């Protein structure tokens, strides 16, 4: 509240000074010039372009129009003075307006129109002494030099602010893109995990329907639970994508080490045993991003067991600390004899995204066959 009030006070003072300078211009034109109205008209157009509130400004009043029209009005007054041979005074009000419009042109005009608009305003500003002295010699040269210095200073400042705006926009866009990519990875990790489970259990249910129909109910319950969790994950992610508030990141469907117990308990199918080993000395207060990445390693490894080694009977998950690193290992004894259909086996994006996530934390990820049989996924993170 204080910053808003302070900026409003500064703006009010600046507007007051600008209006006072314009009054000086009008008084000077009335006492020294051929008339007040030409000067008053130029000042009115310039003040409207500078002071029109942004929230009430019509869309057709573009920065190009705001800068070009007052500059042309000022230039027309100068040309009229030269053609008539009657000196028309210039004052601080018009100079201040043209400097403000020069700032607007350099900062806000589209890239291809910055130079024409800035040149038009700069020319109008530098020509103001000529309308009074009707020459570019003598005292006019001093005013021209001062005007050139002011023009260069304001244009340079506006260019610097424009570069800051550009960098801020690029940073914002990159942040949004990175966040959306992370959310896409979250959506893939969770939904692919649940949907793969649904597919495996559906295949199991079809086989049991012929010989063991009385045992179908637990399988159907598992399918229902996996479908519910997949929908919940999608709903959370879509909610975050639609919400731009600062609390959105807190609702991203991420996991942690505490969630591994539930993940492993729900994974095992008939004839499978999933074992979770965790070092006693492993602290509970690891950085959240490390815990989330470790959770993703386990989740993706289990998903790949379902996709490529559904015949695995022993799946082991180990969490250990080796110095200042956390190591997550997932091994299975699958032979790859039972696999999902090609359309459901994925295109390798899970491991690609997981490798990027682990590498971003300064960690390493390795996946490959074991010495005897089965597969191993190992992730290592600095903690």
* Structure token digits, residue 339: 């696999």
Residue 189 domain flag: no
CA distances from 36 to 25, 74, 153, 196, 232 (A): 9, 14, 31, 82, 72
Domain ends where: 86, 105, 135?
Answer: 135
CATH code at 294? 3.30.565.10
Residue 238 domain flag: no
Nearest to 92 by CA among 27, 139, 153, 33: 27
Domain range spanning residue 38? 2-135
Domain ends where: 102, 117, 135?
Answer: 135
pLDDT single digits (tens) 43-92: 999 999 999 988 888 888 999 999 999 999 999 999 998 888 888 888 89
pTM of the model: 0.55
Residue 240 domain flag: no
Residue 10 domain flag: yes
Domain ends where: 82, 107, 135?
Answer: 135
Residue 220 domain flag: no
Question: What's the structural domain count of the chain?
Answer: 2
pLDDT single digits (tens) 253-293: 456 788 888 888 888 777 788 899 988 878 777 776 778 88
Query: What own/partner pairs with CB < 8 Å and gap ≥ 24 does 182-187 have?
Result: 182/252, 183/237, 183/240, 183/241, 183/252, 185/296, 185/353, 185/357, 186/233, 186/237, 186/252, 186/253, 186/254, 187/233, 187/234, 187/237, 187/253
Per-residue pLDDT, 95: 93
pLDDT single digits (tens) 320-361: 988 888 999 999 988 765 554 554 444 445 677 777 778 777
Q: Counting beta carbons within 10 angstroms of the beta carbon of residue 347, is it exposed (0 to 12), middle (13 to 18) or buried (19 or more)?
A: exposed
Query: What own/partner pairs with CB < 8 Å and gap ≥ 24 does 26-32 have?
Result: 26/93, 28/89, 28/91, 29/88, 29/89, 29/91, 32/87, 32/89
Torsion angles phi and psi, residue 364, rounded to 5 = -130, 145
The angle, 0 to 180 degrees and rounded to 10, between the axes of the packed helices 288-308 and 139-211 is 40
């Amino acid at each position: 509240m204080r910053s808003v009030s302070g900026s409003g006070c500064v703006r009010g003072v600046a507007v007051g000074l600008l209006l006072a300078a314009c009054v000086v211009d009008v008084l000077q034109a009335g006492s020294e010039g051929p008339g007040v109205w030409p000067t008053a008209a130029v000042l009115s157009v310039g003040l409207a372009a500078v002071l029109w509130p942004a929230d009430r400004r019509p869309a057709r009043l573009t920065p190009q129009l705001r800068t070009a029209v007052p500059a042309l009005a000022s230039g027309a007054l100068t040309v009229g003075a030269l053609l008539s041979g009657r000196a028309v005074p210039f004052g601080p009000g018009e100079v201040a307006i043209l400097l403000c419009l020069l700032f607007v042109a350099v900062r806000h005009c589209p890239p291809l129109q910055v130079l024409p608009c800035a040149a038009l305003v700069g020319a109008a500003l530098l020509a103001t002494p000529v309308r009074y002295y009707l020459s570019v010699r003598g005292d006019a040269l001093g005013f021209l030099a001062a005007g050139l210095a002011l023009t260069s200073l304001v244009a340079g400042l506006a260019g610097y602010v424009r570069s800051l705006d550009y960098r801020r926009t690029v940073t914002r866009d990159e942040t949004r893109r990175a966040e959306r990519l992370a959310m896409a990875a979250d959506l893939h990790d969770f939904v692919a995990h649940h949907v793969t489970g649904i597919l495996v259990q559906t295949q199991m249910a079809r086989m049991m329907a012929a010989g063991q129909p009385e045992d179908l109910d637990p399988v159907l319950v598992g399918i229902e639970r996996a479908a519910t969790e997949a929908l919940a994950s999608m709903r959370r992610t879509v909610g975050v994508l639609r919400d731009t508030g600062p609390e959105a990141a807190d609702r991203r469907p991420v996991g942690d080490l505490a969630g591994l117990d539930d993940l492993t308990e729900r994974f095992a199918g008939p004839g499978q045993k999933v074992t979770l080993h965790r070092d006693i000395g492993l602290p509970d207060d690891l950085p959240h991003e490390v815990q989330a990445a470790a959770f993703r390693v386990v989740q993706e490894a289990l998903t790949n067991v379902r996709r490529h080694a559904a015949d695995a009977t022993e799946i082991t998950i180990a969490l250990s600390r080796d110095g200042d690193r956390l190591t997550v290992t997932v091994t299975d004894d699958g032979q790859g004899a039972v696999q999902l259909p090609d359309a459901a086996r994925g295109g390798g994006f899970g491991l690609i995204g997981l490798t990027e996530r682990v590498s971003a934390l300064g960690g390493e990820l390795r996946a490959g066959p074991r010495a005897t049989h089965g597969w191993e996924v190992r992730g290592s993170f600095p903690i």
